[in-house]
Chains A and B, each alone.
Chain A
Amino acid sequence: MKKDYFITIGRQLGSGGRIIGEKLAAQLGISFYDKELIQIASQESGLGKEYFEQADEKKSYSIFGGLFGLRGSLADEPFSTYYLNDETLFKIQSDVIRKLADKGSCLFVGRCADYVLSENPRCLNIYISADMDDRIKRIAELHKMTAEKARDYIEKADKKRAGYYNYFSNKVWGEAESYHLCVNSSVLGIDETITLIRHFAEKRFSL
């Protein structure tokens, strides 16, 4: 059991983070989880998948969001818990992450997995960014949209992911001290970036 190790990947939209994670996991022969987490969390909790999708990697915690997100109460009643709020859904999802981690080595993309597994010493946290032009190109191709639209989409997604991460993890998204390795995938390209991270992981875990 002690040999198990974990890699988490935080990534900008369009940085190639998902594909890097997927290929890296395949090369290392460990399980890979990205959106799959939602399906598992839904099965484990019995709650509909759409609730996890709705709450997935976004969170507004502005004053306005707080106002219409109405946490707590209308009267003087003490704070009460209820299901279907983002906090509960996050808790369910992070329990799933920990459970999967108990089963063996794996790699998680997104969903604050680095924070969720922060108690675990054998966890390596990677952040992947990329040049804006590359991100726009990738997203425009993937979603068949204009560069203009892709840029807009990316900016919104960055905001959402940052909001989600900063709210749930108490760390700052994309800031070097939140991770062990931050790398720009535009520099070496996807494949070489994978090799770089793999070497880093092999050194760290003496694979």
Chain B
Amino acid sequence: MVQKGSPLALGNESVWSLLLQYAIPSVIAMTAMSLYNITDSIFIGHGVGALAISGLAISFPLMNLSAAFGTLVGVGASALMSLRLGQKDYSTANKILGNVLVLNLILGLSYTVVVLLFLDQILIFFGASSETLPYARDFMTIITLGNVVTHMYFGLNALMRATGNPKRSMYATILSVIINVILAPLFIFGFKWGIRGAALATVIAQTSMLIWQFSYFRNKENYIHFQNGSFRLKRKIVTDSMSIGMAPFLMNTAGSIIIIVINQNLIKHGGDLAVGAYGIINRVAALFAMVVFGLNQGMQPIAGYNFGAKQFDRVNTVLKLTILLASAVMTVGFLICEIFPHAVASAFTTEEDLIDIVVPGLHIVMIFFPIIGFQMVASTFFQSIGMPGKAIFMSLTRQVLFLLPCLLILPSYFGVKGVWYSMPAADLLSSIIATYLLISQYRKSYIKQ
């Protein structure tokens, strides 16, 4: 009999149940993350005001950049961790844990110092005006002070997954969201702390979860735990994990740069409220995209294994199924935003001026949502069948190759709408590329067979 959890199960069990089994935990974790972002924006929008939403949107790239530094260490270290654990090499695995903690501490602190020193200049460069700067500054000062915690929290959470504890890591994510959802309204509406309250709630939520993780990694009964001597940085661990983490780091950085360009264009052509509108649209779009990312994660092992085992029928089944589910999710997003854009915008703010910018924006930005799910799945598909080059290329086409030129050209002619038009334009073009690459891959696999 095929053992549960063995690679052979990936080649035998029903594709449907495999996909559900693998995708549901990731979908839950992803949704929790984006719900956290959305609720934060909603509380700030209603409790502080429209300009505060703009201030928040201005600080997105800075937060993304911090997350990018987190992946620089976290992604690589967890890859190394699972490698060592696969060989039952616990002593090296423990050193990786200690090194991750120290690295996050160093990176986190340096980031905090640099950002706090130049906070105003950075935010102004990112598109803050005299109106929105105070909000962005208040928010980012607290978030940046808590940056070390954020880094260590995400780093340890990634290691938690790698040590075979995906559930605990998922609970940590969900719990931090719950804590935040309780504290943020209390601080904003109850204590009237404004946007600072939202930032504080975030930092407190992450600190509590970090303490929880510390308690796990301090327990000597676990294979992997903090040990004396494991905190001395090992050159090999540092360079290995950083070189693995370099790709996701650069992708995240590219994402931050794109948002900076978007914000700069919006402030130029539409002012502060347009930036706030993007903040809202971005949160809404991300909610649906994150679900698809979760599905993608579930697809990876199934597609990868069966492709390697040359069971192309099963590869096709899982690919089709994932595309179908992803497109369904994105279509739901599309329908909600196209039919009820006003209701969606009102969830974040009551100020009509802002709603008036969000509504047409949502209309335009979401127009190709039903097909972009396909592109997102295809990109991950190539990664899972061992063709990361194509995966990177596809992701770059959407984020950089198409979006950036559109953003540099279209706004000069269409103003704020030009910014909105750039996004579906990039979606459409990259979906065409995805279709082409996927069809040619499909033909190749079948001819080989």
Interfacial residues, chain A to chain B (CB-CB below 8 A): 45-48, 51, 61-63, 65-85, 87, 90-92, 94, 115-116, 118-119, 166-168, 170
Contact = CB atoms under 8 A, between A and B. Distances in A.
A66 B239 CA distance: 11
A72 B30 contact: no
Contacts of B242: 63, 66
A79 B81 CA distance: 11
Contacts of B169: 78
Contact of A61 (B244, B308, B385): B244
28 contacts: A46-B308, A47-B309, A61-B243, A65-B243, A67-B246, A68-B247, A68-B388, A69-B388, A70-B247, A70-B383, A70-B391, A71-B247, A74-B395, A75-B289, A77-B294, A78-B297, A79-B79, A82-B383, A83-B305, A83-B307, A84-B308, A84-B384, A87-B83, A90-B86, A91-B83, A94-B87, A167-B240, A170-B84
A44 to B, nearest CB: 9
A84 B383 CA distance: 9
Interface stretch (B5-13, B265-273, B276-284): B5-13
Contact of B75 (A73, A84, A90): A73
Contacts, number: 161
Contacts of B8: 45-46
Interface stretch (B129-137, B213-221, B248-256, B416-424): B248-256
B386 A84 contact: yes
A99 to B, nearest CB: 13
B297 A74 contact: no
B92 interface: yes
A72 B248 contact: yes
A199 to B, nearest CB: 30
Residue from B245, B247, B395 having most chain A Cβ neighbours under 10 A: B247
A83 B301 contact: yes
B307 A84 contact: yes
Contact of A79 (B10, B89, B161, B252): B161
A119 B75 CA distance: 27
B104 interface: no
A contact patch SS: loop
A173 B89 CA distance: 17
Contacts of A74: 248, 251, 379-380, 383, 391-392, 395
B contact patch SS: helix
Given A73-B248, A83-B384, A116 B305 contact: no
Nearest to A83: B304
Nearest to A92: B7
A87 B247 CA distance: 17
Contacts of B307: 83-84
B289 to A, nearest CB: 8
Interface of B: 7-8, 10-11, 26, 29-30, 33, 67, 71, 74-76, 78-79, 82-84, 86-89, 92, 157-158, 161-162, 169, 236, 240, 242-248, 250-252, 255, 289, 293-294, 296-297, 300-301, 303-305, 307-310, 379-380, 383-386, 388-389, 391-392, 395
Contact of B71 (A51, A72, A80): A72
A73 B89 CA distance: 25
Given A77-B30, A116-B87, A84 B385 contact: yes
A119 B86 CA distance: 13
A90 B386 CA distance: 14
Contacts of B89: 115, 118, 170
Nearest to A87: B83
Contacts of A91: 83, 86-87
Nearest to A47: B308
Contact of B79 (A65, A71, A83): A71
B7 A83 contact: yes
B247 A79 contact: no
User: Which 10 pairs of residues, A with B, have the shortest CB-CB distance?
Assistant: A83-B304, A72-B75, A70-B388, A84-B386, A66-B243, A82-B300, A47-B308, A83-B305, A82-B384, A91-B86
B247 A72 contact: yes
Nearest to A84: B386
A49 B240 CA distance: 27
Given A67-B246, A70-B247, A78 B29 contact: yes
Nearest to A69: B388
Nearest to B75: A72
A62 B243 contact: yes
A119 B76 CA distance: 25
